[in-house]
Structure 1
């Protein structure tokens, strides 16, 4: 019984591990920023959290939209249609560039909101200059996503990983030089972290284009674009797939962002603790994201081959693998919940000892809840990937809205601000939303695949 699933594990991991490492790379940029900025104090850590909360919402729309490219390229690859694959990349690249510029503009317009969100005043003052630079980094990031999703669609997941690793090295080096003013560089604090993020994302998009252009298999896809010839039909197909996918990601990221804002109402220490727990959880979530891409690519290929029995079996093998891995992460969070927060703060800083101790205590409680939602979070994103591979995006968008905003958010809001649970209550709401999403998405996947098999 289990063997029909476990025999797929090796190939699933082979396909997903470069995506996981690449995704972890994005999170590691934030991890490096948080650890380095955390040495400056809890107000600075809270400011990075507040600034990034706006960027993450915009980023979710950009990344979510770009995922439309992968199933189209995977289906074209399965059908042996090279022209359709190149067309999907060209139109996707145009749309992603326009979207990146639009998101940057929207964030600049939203800046005044920071003063009306009941956030600590010293945190807002620090967050604004950081936000301006990191917002601009969305343009190269969303362009990079177009190339990444295209590469994933051809089952070549290692090239985006290499570009992301290089970007991390650039980011960490610039952080070290500019946050602390090392080796004679100016000491810019959290603005230095923002410059590091922007520079690393420009390097990332330039490098992946250069890398793909050098490879014989890809050269035909990534060169000689005729941008004068834009087809409305292809644009419409990408938008029809990409817009609901962007909304799905937006609904999930927005509830986590709401958690940052609710934590800010509770004070800077609650917000700093929330940022620590969120950063650690987002690292393990990237494993689910990587397996989600594997599900999307493999389901897309089987759809191209019209092989629906294997499609269901392969997808379920990825769900099972995700479940096993997430149990391991849950155990790690339970065992390390008191130690992990100490990585982010200078525990020997006597001046801020009271703040740091409070942050560690709150973060340990949040990680206890986070241990349980590892499983729900991993499963819901992988099932969502399988549904995208089937090019089923509208009903899953409605499911994610109901799960996060009609179930999860009201629980977070009530328990966080009106009971003694405080920060822990906010995270119980997140757990409820993720669990509801995982259950409803799986029911949808099961219904669709049974229908396809019985045709």
Structure 2
């Protein structure tokens, strides 16, 4: 019985591994950013956290919207329908580019909100110049996402990974040179980190374009396209899938962003600790995201082939694999909860010893809660990927809203600001939201797939 699921593990990992590596690479750069910025002080680390909280919201909308491209391309690929696949790519790229510009402008307009959010003034003043440059990097980032989702839909998951890894190397080198002013470069502090992010994201989109242009399977899709000749029917189809998908990701990312803001109300040290725990949790989440993409592609393929029994079996095999990997990460967080936060801060810095000790203590407690929600987070994101592969997005959007904002956020707000739990209370709310989401989304998938099998 179990073997019908475990026999799919190898192919699932083969498909998901490049996505995981690319996403972990992204998060490793954020880790390196945070470690480098952490050497400047806790105020600088909190400023990057605050600036990135605005970015996370915008990125969630852009990345969430772009995920509409993958199941449509996967379905067209399974049906050998080149015309449809090319139409999805062309119109998807246009919509993602336009969305990137809109989100960049929205962040510029939203900057003054920082002063109204009860954040430490020194943190806000450091965050604003950092955010200017990072916001502009949204445009190449969301263009890259369109290319990546298209590539994933063709099961060519390795090439976005290569582009991401190259970009990460560029980012780390520029960060080192510009944050600290090494080898004659200007010492720019956290603005240097923003320059590194912008240049690396431009590198990423250019590199992936040339890779796809050079590959036989994708060459005809990405060349000779009339980007401004829009097909209204396909645009409507992408928006119908992309808008709810964007909201799904927005609802989840927004509650984690709210956790950053709530932590900022508690002070710069709780905010810095929150950033450490969030960065570590993000790294493990990227593994689940890789499996979510595998679920989206494989379910999309099986939907195109109308093989619904295989579709359900393959999806459940991905959920099971995700669950087992999440248990391993949970154990690592529990065993190493005191050790991991020390990577981010200079524990020998006598001037900041009291601040650093407090940050490490808070972060260690948050990692215990993060260990518990590894499982919930992994299940909800892989099930969501499978539902996107089925092109079922409206009910899951409602589920994610209820889970994060009707269940999770009120718990975070009350326990974080009105009880002695403080930072831990904020993260207990995150745990409640993720667990609710995982359960409700699985019930939705279970019902849909059983209904499809009955009709078949």
Residue 351 of structure 2 is matched in structure 1 by 351
Q: In the alignment, is residue 57 of structure 1 matched against residue 57 of structure 2?
A: yes
The number of residues matched between the two structures is 455
1:147 is displaced (CA, Å) by 0.3
Which residue of structure 1 aligns with residue 220 of structure 2?
A: 220
Match of 2:208 in 1: 208
Cα deviations by residue, 1:126-174 (Å, 9 ceiling, x for unpaired)? 0000001000000000000000000000001000000000000000000
Q: Which residue of 1 aligns with 2:24?
A: 24
Q: Which residue of 2 aligns with 1:233?
A: 233
Counterpart of 1:263 in 2: which secondary structure? Answer: helix
Q: Displacement of 1:215 after TM fit?
A: 1.2
Distance (Å, rounded) in 1 between the aligned partners of 2:157 and 2:115: 42
Match of 1:104 in 2: 104
- The 5 Å alignment of 1:318-357 reads 318-357=318-357
Distance in 2, matches of 1:199 and 1:164, equals 12
Distance in 1 between residues matched to 2:404 and 2:29, nearest whole Å:
26
Corresponding residue of 2:196: 196
SS across alignment from 2:410: helix
User: What is the aligned partner in structure 2 of residue 251 from structure 1?
Assistant: 251
User: What is the SS of the residue equivalent to 1:217?
Assistant: helix
The 5 A counterparts of 1:35-434 are: 35-434=35-434
Of stretches 215-224 and 186-195 in structure 1, the one that deviates more from structure 2 is 215-224
Is the Cα contact below 8 Å between 2:30 and 2:279 reproduced in 1? yes
Q: Secondary structure at the match of 1:184?
A: coil
1:331-386 deviations in whole A, cap 9, x for unaligned?
A: 00001100000000011100000000000000000000000000000000000000
Structure 1 gaps of 5+ residues are none
Q: Deviations over 1:78-119 (max 9, x none)?
A: 000111111101000000000000000000000000001000
CA distance in 2, matches of 1:67, 1:299: 14
Give the Cα separation in 1 of the matches to 2:172 and 2:148: 22
Displacement of 1:228 after TM fit?
A: 4.0
- Matches of 2:368 and 2:297, distance apart in 1: 33
Q: Give the root-mean-square deviation of aligned CA atoms.
A: 0.5
Looking at structure 2, the residues matched to 144 and 28 of structure 1 have their Cα atoms a distance apart, in angstroms, of: 18
SS at 1:334's partner residue?
helix
State yes or no: 1:10 paired with 2:10: yes
Residues 94 and 228 in structure 2, CA contact (< 8 A), matched pair in contact too: no
Contact 2:78 2:301 in 1 (8 A): yes
Return the alpha-carbon distance in structure 1 between the equivalents of residues 16 and 179 of structure 2: 34
Displacement after TM superposition at 1:217 (Å)? 1.7
TM-score by length of 2: 0.99
C-alpha distance in 1 between matches for 2:134 and 2:193:
9
Partner Cα separation in structure 1 for residue 445 and residue 190 of structure 2? 44
| Aligned counterparts of 2:253 and 2:317: Cα–Cα separation in 1 | 27
Q: Deviations over 1:385-423 (max 9, x none)?
A: 000000000000000000000000000000000000000
Task: After superposition, give the CA deviation of every residue in 1:31-72 in whole Å (9 maximum; x if it has no partner).
Answer: 111010000000000000000000010000000000000000
Q: Structure 1: which 4+ aligned runs deviate by more than 3 Å?
A: none
Structure 1 counterpart SS, 2:183: helix
1:259/1:427 contact within 8 Å kept: yes
Q: Distance in 1 between matches of 2:82 and 2:419?
A: 58
Note the C-alpha offset of 1:29. 2.1
Q: Secondary structure at the match of 1:183?
A: coil
- Aligned equivalents of 2:433 and 2:170: distance in 1? 36
Distance 1:366 1:241, change over 3 A: same
* Structure 2 residue ranges without an equivalent (≥5): none
What per-residue deviation string (whole Å, max 9, x for no partner) do you get for residues 220-248 of structure 1?
01100013421100000000000000000
Separation in 2 of the partners of 1:233 and 1:84? 11
